[in-house]
Chain A
Amino acid sequence: MTHFVEALVSAISLGSIYSLLAIALVVVYRANRTLNFAQGEIGTFTIFIAFSLINHGWALGLAAVASIAIGFVVCAAVYYFLVRPLRHRPGWAVVLIGAGLYLGVNALSGTIWGANPHGFPSIFPNAVGDYFTIAGARVYYYVVGDLAALIVLTCVVSLLIGKTSIGLQMRAVAANPQSADLLGISTARVRLVSWGLAGALGSIAGLLTAPVTTLSTQMMLDVLLYGLAAATLGGLDSLKGAAIGGIAVAVTTTMLSVYVSWIGQELKEAAAMALIVTVLVVRPSGLFGTAQVQRV
């Protein structure tokens, strides 16, 4: 039981991060019907900036806010300067931009800050003694913090989309960009805000990842992969799906690697992906996604 709870707790901590990145991907997908493959790398880049700021004597909280703001600006700029000009081009053009940024930003971080991993302070208490026990298993405060961050941010984004004017416009663009435009909504502005929001969420995901895995150019690679898996599993246009999907992916991979011995560490990704593909074959639009209907 202790073993199980410990595995579950670590899975939830990881899953919260996957979910946050998945939500970032979903926000972009809802706005543009595309994925930003560089979401994780831009997040890493902003955390490196926070790292430099901390080294210059900034407080952690201030550096964290700065990195989130930079994430917003960078992703909004990516939309405005690289994605928006391609709006008359087929969708793969934007995917290619994402691939270029993915490789380029990763290498840029490596150029500026080097390939060696750096320690990064956690915004939640994460000293050796900062835990309480459930059924004999240690639950560290930062795990609770990760989950709390996920819940709070999911609520914030949901409220933003559900209750505010810009959120209404975002929903309109997600439902039908042409009609939204005819109604006088500035689709460009909605998309700009959406990309920025996703960038901020990506930075937050990075802030939660860096203390656990150490800050390096590699830190978001897995997070992006599982975030993509989570977003697809939940349905690419569903916030709820992304939040649940991230936790589900993390719990599944962790439990499979812990309890099914022949899967082990090497095959846990394979097993999780196989499971997701199976789910997708049964439900092609993910668990909570809107089914794509085509009018002929």
Chain B
Amino acid sequence: MSSAGGRVIAAARRRVPWSLSAAVLGLVIVYYLPYAVLSFHLVLLTSAAGAAIAIMGLNLLFGYTGQISVGHAAFLGLGGYGAGVLVWKYHWYYLPAIIVSVVLAFVVGLAVSAPALRLRGLYLALVTLAVGAIFPGLLRRFADLTNGDNGIFNLQWQPPAWAGLYGLEGQQIWGFWISGGCLVIAGLLVHNMVRSRIGRSLLAVRDHEIAAAAAGIRISTVKALTFAVAGALGALGGALMVASIGVISPSQFGLEQSIELLVATVVGGAATLRGSIIGGAVYVYLPYYTSQFVSGPIAGVVFGGAIIVAVFVAPDGLDGLLVRITRLAGRLPPPVGRRPKPPAVRDSALDGREVEPDSGRTPARSTDTQTAAVRS
């Protein structure tokens, strides 16, 4: 084949990747959605978009790399308070405030990864738990900066004049545009990251750290990078939630929220992008709807029960459930890189010896091609 012919074929094959098309479609949806839903739901959707960004970060850390974190809410708080304090106290514009707080969270994520490089499984979980548990205390200790338990109010990001949005409704639309737009862009970035060499090395570290190291992956670099990116995404999500809701207080970023984020990640679907977005919706809508059906503390009983039911009914999260249903209809190829490893392999996210003796029979689920390729 002549080189000219090759070039023609190459040019023909250089199509726009579908992920980019999906992102553009996503932006279009984000632009028009505020005109299609009630303003009340718009506010919830805005929160869900922010939560979804944060959950993408947690999913990178937990779903893809197998590093459990029970302190992710601290990063949301870091972003929220970082941006909120800069806007409230130092009268910054929102855009630079969010950028600075995201960069700050990236650095803090790197710092947190330092002990994480030596610890694994539940020991690591405890370190992240410590970060999550002490964060509200820190906010209260430095009350002159953060206004302590009183919180900060009226922080909404007001739409600029060129946007043509006015009043409360305009502010809500603007908040959704910002959050939804960031969600689409963050989703595209995370998608590209996990489909690249980096993403495959994350899966390799999750599935077999020693084999990954033997294959030439720098374990410490991968883990540090993942912690930093997860922290940055968490901060972005937190900052956006504050920018749209406009209220912030230490109790929004406690241990309970960290647990809920982890639950939302897994219930949505570990190690998938769709799962993170579903997780964001779960994080916002599940407590909302349980409190609609039942009031008072019994809502918590329903919420806790829903988590337990979800573990049994949807082992791969709601996304896995959807994929299974769709695949039953013969539409989708087997998913890539999503399945948690089968139990017969050692060194899981939580422990090296989870395997029960009677698990000798091979699990019915087969491993997917990508993890299998990485593992072998």
Contacts and interface: CB of A to CB of B under 8 A. Distances in A.
B350 A107 contact: no
A93 interface: yes
Contact of B259 (A99, A115, A225, A232): A99
B130 to A, nearest CB: 4
A96 B266 contact: yes
Contacts of B131: 273
Nearest to A95: B350
B353 A280 contact: no
B134 A92 contact: no
Nearest to A113: B297
A111 B301 contact: yes
Nearest to B214: A296
B134 A182 contact: no
A71 interface: no
Contacts of B32: none
Q: What does DSSP make chain B's interface, helix, strand, loop or mixed? A: helix
Contacts of A104: 300-301, 303-305, 307-308
A96 B63 CA distance: 14
A292 B210 CA distance: 14
Contacts of A92: 62, 68, 266, 270, 340, 349-350
A82 B308 contact: yes
Interface stretch (B12-20, B135-143, B166-174): B135-143
Interface string A258-272: 000000101101100
Contact of A229 (B130, B141, B299): B130
Contacts, number: 184
Interface in B295-318: 296-301, 303-308, 311-312, 315
Contact of B263 (A100, A270, A273): A100
B297 A107 contact: yes
Contacts of B334: none
B126 A232 contact: yes
Nearest to B358: A181
Contacts of B340: 90, 92
B68 to A, nearest CB: 7
Nearest to B300: A107
A110 B120 contact: no
Report the interface size class on chain B. 35 or more
A3 interface: no
Interface stretch (A157-165, A199-207, A281-289): A281-289
A74 interface: no
Most buried by A among B126, B131, B308, B353: B126
A56 interface: no
Interface in B107-149: 114-115, 118-123, 125-127, 129-131, 133-134, 137-138, 140-141
Contact of A85 (B114, B301, B312): B312
Given A89-B343, A111-B296, A105 B137 contact: no
22 contacts: A34-B351, A35-B125, A82-B308, A88-B343, A89-B343, A90-B350, A91-B121, A91-B354, A97-B308, A103-B256, A104-B304, A177-B355, A178-B357, A187-B356, A229-B130, A267-B137, A274-B130, A280-B118, A281-B118, A284-B118, A294-B346, A296-B210
Given A87-B343, A90-B348, A294-B347, 11 more contacts: A33-B353, A100-B304, A100-B305, A100-B307, A101-B308, A106-B304, A108-B297, A181-B356, A270-B138, A280-B118, A284-B118
Interface of A: 29, 33-35, 82, 85-93, 95-97, 99-108, 110-111, 115, 176-178, 180-182, 187, 225, 228-229, 232, 236, 264, 266-267, 269-270, 273-274, 276-277, 280-281, 284-286, 292, 294, 296
